[in-house]
Structure 1
Amino acid sequence: MIKTIIAPGKYVQGEQLLASISDYTKEFGSKLLFIASANGIKRTEQTIENSYKALDVTLGFEAFNGECCDKEINRIKTIIENEKYTAIIGIGGGKIFDTVKAVAYEAAIPVGIVPTIASTDAPCSALSVIYTESGVFDRYLVLPSNPELVLVDTTIIANAPSRLLVAGMGDALATYFEARACERSCAPNMTGTQSTLSANALAKLCYETLLKDGFMAKCSVDKKVCTKALENIIEANTLLSGIGFESGGLAAAHAIHNGFTVMEACHHLYHGEKVAFGTIVQLVLEHADADEINTVIAFCKKVGLPVTLKAMGVENIVESEIRAVAEAACAEGETIYNMPFCVTADMVYSAIMLADALGNA
């Protein structure tokens, strides 16, 4: 049996780190391309340029077009090739990270990740989630290596909207339960091998940290202050969840998230908000202990994650639409088949409806 755990080359977390980013990119070459939203560039460009002003390094900044899709990946790859950049660094959130990771792979250059929010576990992973141009899930792109650098400035994250941090908790919430399902079924992790004891322990620590510090971290961000609870949740959302899902494996929760991307009513939700509801559905699907389900629902309600279809944006429940979600969650190759029992679309539909009932109750 082959077991694997993978992680980024270097993970650095602390206050005011962006001002010293040049200290951590010395092996990235002499021409760096930074990708961020247009507003993200305005907020960070001067700080980044100040960090490099004493060095012989050329910097470029390019605005992200908003979706991690083949068109955007190819557009940025062309810029890399034409301008001969030696590395690419993404600043912002999950779709930017997935895009720059895919571009770095295609262009064979190093990639750095600088989260300005802690809303997903995308920063640390060797994985890009590719969508269509309209935002519907298309496929997973499994990459041969993790990012060379993940640099997390906690001061920036403390000043971001708390909904984004909470969405990251929703994504992280699935980590332990999906890893546990994969362990029970001997399903492969994202490397195609079995999980290690350390990966499963990190996944469990991720869940325990959410329960202990999640609400206090949300309150910290509401007050724009960096506390120990916030530092712990940033690490849980970013590093523990990143290593946990990738080296532990994915199961039903993320497949159900992918299913909900076919519903236009849910397009306003962040990735982790859909994953949180998908986690409740997974627990119902596997007939988990009632106390465990209640603990997860109570946590979600306390921090503000959706526990009902109405909270997901589904004002009127139409059976055919929910069945379409279930069918999409059970598409060929989906991670729902890593569950330790056979799964059908009918089972997923029933689990969604029961999860909604429990959330309403």
Structure 2
Amino acid sequence: MAKIMISPGKYIQGNGELANIAQYVSVLGGKALCLISESGLKRVKATVDKSFEIENITVKYDLSSGECCMTEVNRIIKVCEDNNVNVLIGIGGGKIIDTIKAVGYYKDIPVVIVPTIAATDAPCSALSVLYTDTGVFDKYLFLKQNPNIVLVDTGIIAKAPVRLLVSGMGDALATYFEARACEKSNAITCAAGTTTLAASALAKLCYDTLIAEGYKSKLAVEEGVCTKSVEKIVEANTLLSGIGFESGGIAAAHAIHNGFTVLPACHHMYHGEKVAFGTLAQLVLEDAPMEEIEEVLYFCNNVGLPTTLKQLGINEIKPEEIMEVAKVATSKEDTAHNMPFDVTPEDVYAAILTANKLGEDYI
């Protein structure tokens, strides 16, 4: 099996860079559809419109339903067909990003991603995570290519709620540990090959950057300012984690996240918050050294990521519910089986409960 690494065509990051969006979009098409939330539109419309006026590009805005599901994807496909759209722009968070990438996949139209938060590693990937209309994990949609352009305005991200940046750190936290597991098992990654040295190195750099810069960047974003530390964490959450998870591989941490989506008590939690707990559970699964587990516990507590089931919204632990999470996490098509050993529902059940006790004791 070949070693394969993939990445977006161009990655652009800088404070105030959204003002230059049209010059990047212009090389891809002249009739754009922009998927965005109502609140996002209020924040960025003036900046985007001014940029497009200079380049004489037509842009149609469409408000997201808030869910990344096939119902929403098909709705936007119809909007594209009705308006002869030849370039797609997604401005917003993970579900808007994954939705517009899926539309680009089905319509074979260039895609420009503009994350307004650094809450997930979705922007750079050739992957859309699809949910049902009610928000339960449905499937991974593997795309033909990564986004053509990823444009990250760190000034906008620094003004978003700090919980979103911290959630992105939770998503990024899994990158190194999952890539390490996939390298050991020689698992096939989202790039349809095995892990490259470059992807492994980026995954490790992602983790090291989180440990070194995570707390400082959290403090800066609490003040709504963009520091060098924020720039580094935004790159870790977005580019390093994006390439690291996709070309390095995903394993039990994300599978356990998918399991938690079946519990209504967790629906208010962000993706990265559930992934952070999944990372802790994965470390228990593989019997990682206590020093490593303690470093993860310290980091999570320092920046505000959940390390207990109660922090995930589960106030009463019901064995049958935790077992249901474990069964979903170990379903045949999910990534827990990329671990370098067999993983059963009973294994995941035990790891979740042990991770919870570790978190309680550490607190």
CA RMSD of aligned residues (A): 0.6
Deviations 1:28-67 (A, max 9, x none): 2110111110111121111101011123211100000010
Conserved in 1, the CA contact under 8 Å of 2:22 and 2:57?
Answer: no
Q: Which amino acid aligns with 1:53?
A: E
Query: Alignment partner of 2:139: what SS?
Result: strand
**1:233-261 deviations in whole A, cap 9, x for unaligned?**
00000000000000000000000000000
Q: Which amino acid aligns with 2:41?
A: I
In structure 2, what is the Cα distance between the partners aligned to 1:288 and 1:54? Answer: 55
Gaps of 5+ in 2: none
Letter in 1 for 2:206: C
**Is 2:273 aligned against 1:259?**
no
One-letter amino acid matched to 1:279? T
User: Is 2:23–2:55's contact at 8 Å kept on the other side of the alignment?
Assistant: no
Partner of 1:169: 169
Per-residue deviation, 1:221? 0.1
Which residue of structure 2 aligns with residue 332 of structure 1? 332
Distance 2:216 2:294 in 1: 20
Task: Quote the Cα distance in structure 1 between the aligned partners of 2:26 and 2:58.
Answer: 13
**Residue in 2 aligned with 1:7?**
7
Counterpart CA distance in 2 for 1:58 and 1:347 is 54
Tell me the distance in 1 between the aligned counterparts of 2:77 and 2:42: 22
SS of residue paired to 2:311 = coil
Q: Distance in 2 between matches of 1:196 and 1:281?
A: 25
Aligned twin of 1:342: 342
Q: How far apart are the structure 1 equivalents of 2:15 and 2:308? A: 36
Q: Within 5 Å, give how 1:300-315 maps onto structure 2.
A: 300-315=300-315
1:21 aligned partner: 21
Q: Which amino acid aligns with 1:278?
A: G
1:295-317 superposed Cα distances (whole Å, 9 cap, x missing partner) = 00110000000000000000000
Runs of 4+ in 1 over 2 A off after TM superposition: none
- The residue that corresponds to 1:270 in the other structure is 270
> How far is the alpha carbon of 1:24 from its aligned partner?
1.0
Structure 2: distance between partners of 1:103 and 1:236: 26
Question: Which stretch of the first structure deviates more once superposed, 47-56 or 218-227?
Answer: 47-56
- Find the counterpart in structure 1 of residue 119 from structure 2: 119
CA distance in 2, matches of 1:176, 1:186: 15
Q: Percent identity?
A: 58
Does residue 42 of the first structure (1) align with residue 42 of the second (2)? yes
- 2:309 partner letter: L
C-alpha separation in 2, matches of 1:124 and 1:250: 15
Q: Quick one: which amino acid aligns to residue 46 of structure 1? A: A
Q: State whether structure 2 residue 156 is matched by structure 1 residue 156.
A: yes
In the alignment, residue 193 of structure 1 is paired with which amino acid?
Answer: G
Distance, in Å, in 1 between the alignment partners of 2:299 and 2:93 is: 24
Amino acid at match of 2:99: T
Q: Deviations over 1:175-225 (max 9, x none)?
A: 000000000011111122111100000000000000000000000100111
Task: Indicate yes or no: 2:286 matched with 1:316.
Answer: no
Residues 297 and 359, structure 2, Cα contact 8 Å, conserved in 1:
yes
For residues 235 and 320 of structure 1, what CA distance do their matches in structure 2 show? 39
1:106 and 2:72 matched = no
Tell me the SS of whatever aligns to 1:187: coil
Any stretches of 5+ residues in structure 1 without a counterpart?
A: none
The answer as to whether partners of 2:26 and 2:57 remain within 8 angstroms in 1 is no
- The C-alpha deviation readout for 1:258-286, integer Å capped at 9, x for no partner, is 00000000000000000000000000000
Deviations 1:315-357, CA, capped at 9 Å, x for gaps: 0000101111001101111100000000000010000000000
TM-score (norm 1): 0.99
User: Could you tell me the TM-score, scaled by structure 2's length?
Assistant: 0.99
Match of 2:188 in 1: 188
Q: What SS does the corresponding residue of 2:152 show, helix, strand or coil? A: strand
Give the distance between the partners of 1:53 and 1:142, measured in 2 at CA: 34
Q: Which amino acid letter does the alignment assign opposite residue 114 of structure 1?
A: V
Give distance in 1, aligned partners of 2:46 and 2:224.
Answer: 22
Separation (CA, whole Å) in 2 of partners of 1:82 and 1:60? 11
Could you list the per-position Cα deviations for residues 111-168 of structure 1 after superposition, in whole angstroms to 9, with x for gaps in the alignment?
0000100000000000000000000000000001000000000000010000000000
Residue of structure 2 in register with 1:88 after alignment: 88
Measure, in 2, the Cα distance between the counterparts of 1:112 and 1:128.
Answer: 14
SS at the partner of 1:89?
strand
Check conservation: 2:26, 2:55, Cα contact below 8 A.
no
Residue 355 of structure 2 aligns with an amino acid whose one-letter code is: A
SS at match of 1:342: coil
Structure 1 stretch displaced more, 191-200 or 133-142: 191-200
Q: What is the one-letter code of the residue matched to 1:155?
A: G
Residue type of the alignment partner of 2:261: T
